[in-house]
Chains A and B, each alone.
Chain A
Amino acid sequence: MDAPGKLIPVPTQETAPFWEGCKAGELRLQRCADCGRYQFPPQSFCRSCAGGRLAWSATSGCGKVLSYTIVYWSPNPAYAADAPYSLALIQLNEGPRMLTNVTGCPPRQLQIGMEVKVVFEQCGPAIMLPKFQPL
């Protein structure tokens, strides 16, 4: 069996505007027209107020490291080849969280509470993948 490569996101009808934002260098999230809350990942139902009127909105792209790990082992050889690499949960200033890699800083220097900003990296031919780096 061929070893799987890294997973490249395949946009859906629901998520395409997010990925278009990334291509334009903007972290765009859904915002509920009824309750005003941001949500991520994209979905057509507001998880806060059960509203159905969600609009895309540019965000600051800034947040803080909520927690992090340094990954030394992966069952997927494509990721194992990059080890050790960081994996972090980012609390965005607008509220939602993202799982990501933090770049531009050695994994050992990561700290909970560190302020970070989004950067976009090419991932496959058609996707710009949001990652974060320390401010």
Chain B
Amino acid sequence: MSRYGLRGAMAIVGAADTKVGAVPELTSAQLQTEAARLALADAAISKDRIDGLITCNASVERGPLKTFHAEMVAELLGIAPRFCLTGAVGGALPVLMMEHAAAAIAAGLCHTVLLISADNILSAAKRRAAVPEPWDDPQFEEPYGPTTPAMYALIARAHMHRFGTTSEQFAAVAVACRRHASMNPGAHKREPIALADVLNSRMIADPLHLLDCSLVSDGGAAIVMTAAQRARDFPNPPVYFLGAGEAHPYLSLLHADSLTHSGAIQSGRQAYAAAGVAPRDIDLAFVYDAFTPMAIIYLEDLGFCPKGEGGRFVEGGNIELGGPLPINTHGGLLSYCHAGLANSIFHITEAVRQLRGGCGARQVNGAKLAIIHGQGGRASTHGTAILGTAETL
């Protein structure tokens, strides 16, 4: 038996996204408070009942919003939480925030936690007209001109070389996400695309074309989590936290044991063991699609197909709505929103909407179990969580 003590103990009772895409009228701090306001309204809960707050650092900020992020957001919200924490593991964080919130509630540190993640790399870049702060090692990486797409292109090329994965297979991920976004009125990019559009888009870092790369957007989202026994007092059907896992195998690619096998193997195994479910039980998957090859690698590493067969797995509509394993039904980072560091929060809020059954035309019928995989850095940090409906308890 698993020692994991959090299965089904907590539930998400509120979830909301701000407007996403180009939102020049809001700063990243305003996106934080707007996401909070909408999630509190969704849960029909007063802000004064929030006694836990976890935020994701915003990549665009300086000053107090960088060094005391959650404290600053608590102040903007006019709350004084018992438990208040900023996280900084990039795109893995929103997934991990759920587990940390669940652990804090289980340990008696707080009762109701608000999780917020918002960023605005699109408008911040326009305002500053500046080159983003370099991410990589200033002496041993940056002098060679690495870019974020180029670092992921190294992973993509290694996967192609080892497993024969093709550019057409990468493109199938972009096509699927765009098709889903076309059914989502809130998505940043909604015009449907075909494989040829991806393959004919300009090369960014070989083998990654423009449409293999996530968007540059603004946006935020928030969720409210509380103990399962309280969850039935809220207006929406509770979505239960069944388990999670994390892995932090390296930060720089210089220290990655493998370019083709990710930390999702470890975080996924932990999450399945915690939730007591297997890949075949999962109805829909949310994988961190910062670049198309990563969705393929994560589907492999989370056990949906044998290692190396992810390219074939994503072909032929398998990962689209109506297929056996729909992924990223909101449109993902490729077509819904990529706002900076905060992005797996949108995978979570869409999973909540799907498990509540409120996704309209893009609803996965009978969706009971969803897996969410977030990652940060250079495919370095990993968080996997499994959410389910009351039936899965």
Contacts and interface: CB of A to CB of B under 8 A. Distances in A.
Interface of A: 1, 3-4, 6-12, 15, 40-41, 47, 66-77, 79, 82, 84-85, 87-89, 96-101, 112, 123, 129, 131
Given A69-B150, A69-B157, A98-B254, A129 B143 contact: yes
A98 B132 CA distance: 23
A29 B138 CA distance: 18
Contact of A7 (B143, B150, B204, B205): B143
Contact of A8 (B143, B147, B150, B255): B143
Given A41-B254, A73-B205, A99-B253, A67 B140 contact: no
A123 B157 contact: no
A100 B142 CA distance: 9
Contacts of B204: 72-73
B140 A69 contact: no
Contacts of A98: 140, 254
Given A72-B204, A75-B132, A112 B158 contact: yes
A15 B141 CA distance: 14
A112 B155 CA distance: 12
B203 to A, nearest CB: 5
A94 to B, nearest CB: 14
A18 B142 CA distance: 16
Contacts of A96: 254
A15 B139 contact: yes
Interface in B37-89: none
Interface in B124-138: 128-132, 134, 136-138
Secondary structure class of chain A's binding surface, majority of residues: loop
Contacts of B138: 7, 9-10
Contact of A87 (B131, B140, B150, B161): B150
* Interface core residue of A8, A41, A76, A87 (most chain B CB under 10 Å): A87
A41 B146 CA distance: 16
A84 B206 CA distance: 10
A72 B141 contact: no
Contacts of A3: 131
Can you list the 4 inter-chain pairs with the closest CB atoms, starting with the nearest?
A69-B153, A79-B145, A70-B206, A9-B139
Nearest to B136: A99
A67 B155 contact: yes
B139 A41 contact: yes
A68 B363 CA distance: 40
Given A71-B145, A71-B205, A99-B140, A7 B134 contact: yes
Contacts of A11: 139
A124 B143 CA distance: 11
B149 A73 contact: yes
Given A40-B254, A69-B150, A97-B254, A123 B143 contact: yes
Given A71-B147, A73-B147, 15 more contacts: A1-B130, A7-B134, A7-B142, A41-B140, A67-B155, A68-B157, A69-B150, A74-B147, A82-B145, A87-B150, A87-B154, A89-B259, A99-B136, A99-B140, A101-B145
A7 B158 CA distance: 27
A97 to B, nearest CB: 5
30 contacts: A1-B129, A3-B131, A8-B143, A10-B139, A11-B139, A40-B254, A41-B139, A41-B140, A47-B255, A66-B158, A66-B259, A67-B154, A67-B155, A69-B206, A70-B203, A71-B145, A71-B146, A71-B205, A73-B147, A75-B131, A75-B132, A77-B131, A79-B147, A82-B145, A87-B145, A87-B154, A87-B205, A88-B154, A101-B144, A123-B143
